[in-house]
Amino acid sequence: MLRRRLNRLLSGDERRVDSRTIYVGHRPCPATEAFIPPKFCDNRIVSSKYTVWNFLPKNLFEQFRRIANFYFLIIFLVQVIVDTPTSPVTSGLPLFFVITVTAIKQGYEDWLRHKADNEVNKYLVTVLEDGRRTRKESEKIKVGDVVEVEEDETFPCDLILLQSSRDDDTCFVTTASLDGESNHKTHYTVPDTEKDLESLNATIECEQPQPDLYKFVGRMHIYKNDQEPAVRSLGPENLLLKGATLKNTQKIFGVAVYTGMETKMALNYQGKSQKRSAVEKSINAFLLVYLCILVSKALVCTTLKYVWQSNPGQDEPWYNQKTQREKDTNLYLKMFTDFLSFMVLFNFIIPVSMYVTVEMQKFLGSFFIAWDKDFFDPEIQEGALVNTSDLNEELGQVEYVFTDKTGTLTQNNMEFIECCIDGFQYKYQDAASELDGFCVTDGPLSKLQQKAGREKEELFLRALCLCHTVQVKESTGQGDGLMNQVDGLELDGEVVRPEDQRGFIASSPDEVALVKGAMRYGFTFLGLESKNMKILNRNNDVEMYELLHVLNFDPVRRRMSVIVRTKSGDTLLFCKGADSSIFPRVRQDEVDRIRMHVERNATEGYRTLCVAYKKLTAEEYAQADTGLREARLALQDREEKLMAVYNQVETGMSLVGATAVEDRLQEEAAETMEALQGAGIKVWVLTGDKMETAKSTCYACRLFQRGTELLELTVRTLEEGGRKREERLHELLLDYHKKAVQDAAPVKAGVTRSWSTANQDYGFIIDGATLSMVLNSSPDANSGLYKSLFLQICQNCTAVLCCRMAPLQKAQIVKMVKNSKGGPITLSIGDGANDVSMILEAHVGIGIKGKEGRQAVRNSDYAIPKLKHLKKLLLAHGHLYYVRIAHLVQYFFYKNLCFILPQFLYQFFCGYSQQPLYDAAYLTMYNICFTSMPILAYSLLEQHIYMENLLDNATLYREIAKNAMLRWGPFLYWTLLGIFHGLLFFFGVRCLFSNPALQDNGQVFGNWSYGTIVFTVLVFTVTLKLALDTRHWTWINHFVIWGSLAFYVFFSFFWGGIIWPFLKQQRLYFVFANMLSSVSAWLVIILLILLSLLPDILLVVLRKPRGPHARQLSEDCLPQTSRLQLLRRCPTST
């Protein structure tokens, strides 16, 4: 990003003007014009966050933005500078450990990003320089270089196509890594360019870099000897984008127009920012509360100290005279020093070790996702992958899922299912049958009801064979063209000879499916040769049709047509398109026969298309031909003029039939979407695909139900009514808002999602062009209003479909929802590079290890092999991670409050002298050794409800929604519990010490014995409290809980039983052993532990199960045998 900004600053000409001039091959134009070599950025791609030089300062800055880290740094400095009651090691060591572990983890993640960048930047490409072909690294390409790209290579930067190896001056590309579509797109060379690129003298004037993949405006000036320069317009059909792949073309030459971070792919890439979980934000809020408690304790003690010392004789008793230096010290400075000393004494109330434990819990917990055998995919021999362990608990808080369609919800593999001809249904059954007829006995179709006439059948099949833009890919001899992944032919009949076996390539996979469908029934498309389309009919005769015009598909018309001429001289128009687009243009009696089939197929989730035809008279054709030619030459309003001619020609047609094509869904896609909606998660589909395809996918995935009312906000609906688009947009938004928001039934109390009420059955559909109007409308009052209305409508719909989205628009949608009221947790899931922006924008990004490269996986937080794995990842793993870490956080604050409250109370009985209640060893070891391992084991292994139950009952996910376990209510409960236990420990032991002669020989117990008894009760109580909270016992839990208590007893004996030479004073020498020799001490310890835990014990005994899925699933309610079985089945307990 910095490099891009520097380049912008250096190239002042770019900043001032809206266009750039590029000299093809760096050759200056004729001397009539001045040659100023412009400066552009290099072709390096940078996705990493750190460099070797800025890693340390940048990483430390990010880490000290955490309140706890910054606080402990201050405390450490205070301990170093001021004479405090505890050693600097007690806070410095844990802080150093946390900072180091986090820095190593983040450094490793960034090293992986550097590695990925280097793979792209060091990739060798061929560049033409002074007539020679030279190989150079991709990062060294400059704007103006002429680059050679061969078949199946990706374009190293954005290029204008100058020359192609194909005879028709076209080339085919796939843009799967940009917009998710794996179909082939046709691009054209600039007309009238020299065949010998060495002698080409030209300049290109084009717009400055911008992220819209589908827009490009420019012109090329071609200079020839002493002639007026020829000017050719450039559009998106001439631009080859970085990241796209060359297909079915041996090689092309193109000139670089945008490089590096200015390519459209890079501009659509969101920079990787530090993602922080909602739990971390809750921790910071709780820390502030505890900081306030700490400061107030220190202020109270400091104030009371000086009040107490103001009494005569208290400030300087006869046995403790002040030194001269102490007498000369400024009173206010002394008060401030005392305040800092109290802060240091009580600072253990802030649990720094919690950060270490949380980091370890996240890091170790993430292995359970990687180890889960249910996530293993035998096809690719891989399981799940965790790139960022910081967000595990966020998986349990997701409110919105944004999913890509192609390759995520669907396999992008279209298959012809059935057709309807003249009202009669034909269903394909047996692919191995002969391909020569429609009879039930010998053909692959079974006629449901009766049979249409043979003439109609053949007309319909001819329409399928002619009305498309499919190209035939010849077999190269190795059979690679025969079994193409998406579009290979699989012919079982002997209609086509072996040497004619071929594959199909098309701009849309459903076109291939229709051509294949016609093949199954005896009509084979053989290809296009010099404007002649060849068909092999059922009688094995080759039919020839001259292709006169193609009326291209567009999302507003939602249909496409071809005009062809038969050998007999008839001119025919064949048209196919969406039912809503075709029905108004044909006779009503024909519509009634076919409508029922179309509607049934649509509700089954199939992609439906209607087929119509029209015989054109010579006058009609002449008029259409003239109109089309004139419109195509227009430089202004070309689209509108073409549309007018298309609409004029495509009227008065006859409806022949309809087709149903299935875009195969991913395995268990519908079940997964249903489970997510059951869990209260809203699903939005963001796709670059056409609306019809995306809509039928939503029906198939059960995101839209049969009763769902669809609210459509697309270019088509904006153009209805013949008014200005802005006015229509405003009107539609208000209308939909009234329907979905104002008139909707109010949400019942206790229901966390608005969709869950029975009446809320709206689905919302918007396209990229309309979204741009909503998000980027003119900077007046309407801009904010549109956005607000749009968001409210979407939030009240069961599902939202956004089609024709550019990658950056996907990220804009995610950002808009993420920043909306309430800050809902968002998750994006996709499989292509076009999904990277939204994956990086969302709180949690998930990549699918699909067919479209690994950019999504590399930039994601988690990667899974299939969409179906998302269900378990969220509903089981996410749920458990959240519950575990929420308990960990609350427990840490509770145990530290229990720990430090007696220390605070002790100051009232020691003259506010900052005398520690506990020995320094206990202060240091309490959080690091005595109480850390049990909570770590709990936070890794606890299963309050078994995984099977979490998956079977999706509604359980709602119980922890909206950060339910880390709200102020539970926090207050844990804080009050900590205060209750702290008071009980201190005053319980104080009652015992009302007569301190507790030993048989009458010897008196001292202050260290007092502190040790309090500490012993404390350690046992907080550890046994966790044992009572544990529902899922494993041998690890037993080992760490009982092991921690045993270690405490052993350490106390060991620490007090030896004279340590390195200690100036040994406060605990034989204190612990002496303490245990007193029966009274034993009695008080046991009594106080029981009293502290009595509420919890009663709760466990008297608790009633909460409904069918409640805590009766816990360990203690299961027989030993079934417990062992469940232990074996649950991956988290391994």
What pLDDT, in 10s, does the model give residues 586-601?
888 888 888 888 878 8
How far is it, in rounded angstroms, from Cα 495 to Cα 524?
9
Q: Above 70 in pLDDT, residue 702? A: yes
> What's the Cα-to-Cα distance from 992 to each of 752, 908, 1087, rounded to whole Å?
51, 18, 11
Q: Above 90 in pLDDT, residue 1018? A: yes
How far is it, in rounded angstroms, from Cα 665 to Cα 656?
29
Tokens found for residue 975: 């804080």
Q: Which residue has the tokens 């990229």?
A: 768
Could you say which DSSP state residue 757 is in?
A: S
How far is it, in rounded angstroms, from Cα 996 to Cα 89?
34
Tokens found for residue 461: 């099949």
Report the sign of the C-alpha dihedral through residues 171, 175, 176, 180, in that order. Answer: negative
Q: 3-class DSSP state for residue 864?
A: strand
Q: 3-class DSSP state for residue 778?
A: coil
What pLDDT, in 10s, does the model give residues 775-814?
876 555 566 778 888 888 888 888 899 987 877 888 889 9
How far is it, in rounded angstroms, from Cα 789 to Cα 795?
10
- Please provide the distance, in angstroms rounded to a whole number, between the alpha carbons at the two ends of the chain: 44
Check: pTM over 0.85? Answer yes or no.
no
pLDDT of residue 267: 82
Residue type at 527? G
Q: Count of H helices and E strands in the chain?
A: 37, 34
The torsion angles phi and psi of 1004, rounded to 5 degrees, stand at -90, 140
> Average pLDDT, stretch 615-637?
80
Contact 222, 193 (CB under 8 A): yes
Q: Above 70 in pLDDT, residue 966? A: yes
What pLDDT, in 10s, does the model give residues 217-274?
778 888 887 777 887 777 788 899 988 899 888 889 999 999 988 888 888 765 556 6
pLDDT of residue 235: 77
pLDDT of residue 757: 44
pLDDT of residue 328: 65
Residue 822 burial class via C-beta count within 10 angstroms: exposed 0-12, middle 13-18, buried 19 and up: exposed
What pLDDT, in 10s, does the model give residues 265-304?
888 765 556 677 778 888 888 888 888 888 898 898 888 8
pLDDT of residue 40: 86
Q: Which of 179, 338, 390, 404 is catalytic?
A: 404
How far is it, in rounded angstroms, from Cα 768 to Cα 268?
14
The beta-carbon contacts of 449-453 under 8 Å, at least 24 apart in sequence, are 449/424, 449/425, 450/424, 451/424, 452/421, 452/422, 452/423, 452/424, 452/657, 453/422
The question of whether 372 is a catalytic residue gets the answer no
Strands 709-713 and 762-767: parallel
> What's the Cα-to-Cα distance from 469 to each of 485, 511, 512, 889, rounded to whole Å?
19, 8, 9, 61
- Tell me the pLDDT band of 760, cut-offs 50, 70 and 90: low
How far is it, in rounded angstroms, from Cα 197 to Cα 181?
32
How far is it, in rounded angstroms, from Cα 1022 to Cα 757?
43
Q: Above 90 in pLDDT, residue 1020? A: yes
Of residues 642 and 1127, the one with the higher pLDDT is 642
> Average pLDDT, stretch 110-123?
86
Q: Which residue has the tokens 């802030």?
A: 350
**Mean per-residue pLDDT of the chain:** 78
Q: Above 90 in pLDDT, residue 849? A: no
What pLDDT, in 10s, does the model give residues 1022-1035?
999 999 988 888 99
Give residues with Cβ within 8 angstroms of 590, minimum separation 6.
654, 655
pLDDT of residue 998: 64
Q: Which residue has the tokens 């054709």?
A: 621
Count the neighbouring beta carbons within 10 Å of the beta carbon of residue 346.
Answer: 21
Q: Find the angle CA(550)-CA(551)-CA(552) to the nearest 5 degrees.
A: 100
Nearest CA among 89, 56, 85, 47 for reference residue 72? 89
How far is it, in rounded angstroms, from Cα 161 to Cα 187?
8
pLDDT of residue 884: 92
Tokens found for residue 1007: 């202050």
Nearest CA among 750, 708, 794, 834 for reference residue 269? 834
How far is it, in rounded angstroms, from Cα 769 to Cα 746?
32
Range in 209-213, 399-403, 475-479 the model is least confident about: 475-479
Q: Above 50 in pLDDT, residue 701? A: yes
How far is it, in rounded angstroms, from Cα 419 to Cα 440?
15
